[in-house]
Amino acid sequence: MTDRKKYVVGITDHMIGAPDLEAEVLGNDVEIDFFASTDEASFAPDRLARLDALMVWGAPLGQKSISHLTRCRGVVRYGVGYEKIDLAALRSAGIPFANNPDYGTEEVADHALAMILSLHRRLWEHDARARGYTSGWQIHSLKPLCRSNRATVGIVGVGRIGTAVINRLRPFGFRILGYDPGQPPGHEKAIGYERTERLEELLVQSDIVTLHCPANAETRGLLNSDGLARLKPGAIVVNTARGELIEDLDGLEAALRSGHLAAAAIDTLVKEPPGDHPLLTAWRNREDWLAGRLVITPHNAFYSDHAAVEMRLNAAKTVRILLDEGRLRNQVTDRS
């Protein structure tokens, strides 16, 4: 006769093998039902109905699946974002939802800083063009190229990651602006940046704009064609936050082609892997006009070996606390 487990926890999918680390944290009284799929349509209703909690990685979670979570005490996402989760359906079902904000802060901040410094120093463009130099060498320095302490960086979103970016930028001497209406008065004094009350003020003053805000009704399309046009001529844009913040690839291409935008670095796209678009074709083909001016990384700013473990352990701990105490830490109440 086998021992009956006290709880059943579902895990939709996983990018790093079997959920062995989660099993260690959740304990011997938990049965893990590993769906191993990002296809929500494959989630059988009878399996969903058994779950005391559900952990979600890359799969979407919509109303149809949620309607079968009749026993579920909470849904926990491994990551920070939750655009694929139907929060309204969860609220209607009385199921609380939590994300996993306390991992990967250092990695995303480091990634953003690497993009900022490399584009500011025009490293990728120097590398791309130096391959074709057959005469001269140092004479090929790219211009304009200003000192860090003569440049302004605008941080859109001064939460955990935005603050970590500010802490990393400060020793280089950049002037740092921050826009985040969610932060209390005096936050800028404690952290060390100049607050702008309007996004417009930040955009027109910044030589580099780096995005660290969520995608919601107020921020989606933040840097569409109109937003890009408001940038200071010759500005650099870095996005390690959400693809929906710069969802207008036509506008991004036009801004780069015209030179109004000097360069852009993007870690997140609306569609991943990216589909076909003239800008992406030029990037893939290393076309001369774009050489070193558009950098795209495959949504891995969050990743390090340590962060991957931290993410899994923290998400599992959230579920274990829920099962033991009935309390869901990091609960999200966002209604956007």
CB 82 within 8 A of CB 53: no
Mean pLDDT estimate for the chain: 94
Question: Structural domains in the chain?
Answer: 7-103+305-325 (3.40.50.720), 105-296 (3.40.50.720)
Write out the catalytic residue numbers: 242, 272, 299
pLDDT (tens digit, 9 = 90+) per residue, 209-254? Answer: 999 998 888 899 999 999 999 999 999 999 999 999 999 999 999 9
pTM (2 d.p.)? 0.89
**pLDDT beneath 50, residues of the chain:** 1, 336
Q: How confident is the model at residue 206, as a pLDDT?
A: 98
Q: Which residues contact 324 (CB under 8 A, 6 or more apart)?
A: none
Q: How confident is the model at residue 335, as a pLDDT?
A: 56
Q: How confident is the model at residue 1, as a pLDDT?
A: 43
Q: Which residues contact 207 (CB under 8 A, 6 or more apart)?
A: 120, 146, 151, 152, 153, 232, 234, 235, 236
pLDDT (tens digit, 9 = 90+) per residue, 123-151? Answer: 999 999 999 999 989 899 999 999 999 99
Dist. CA 273–CA 66, nearest whole Å: 27
Q: What is the gyration radius of the CA atoms in the chain, in angstroms?
A: 22
Dist. CA 252–CA 261, nearest whole Å: 8
DSSP class of residue 300 equals: -
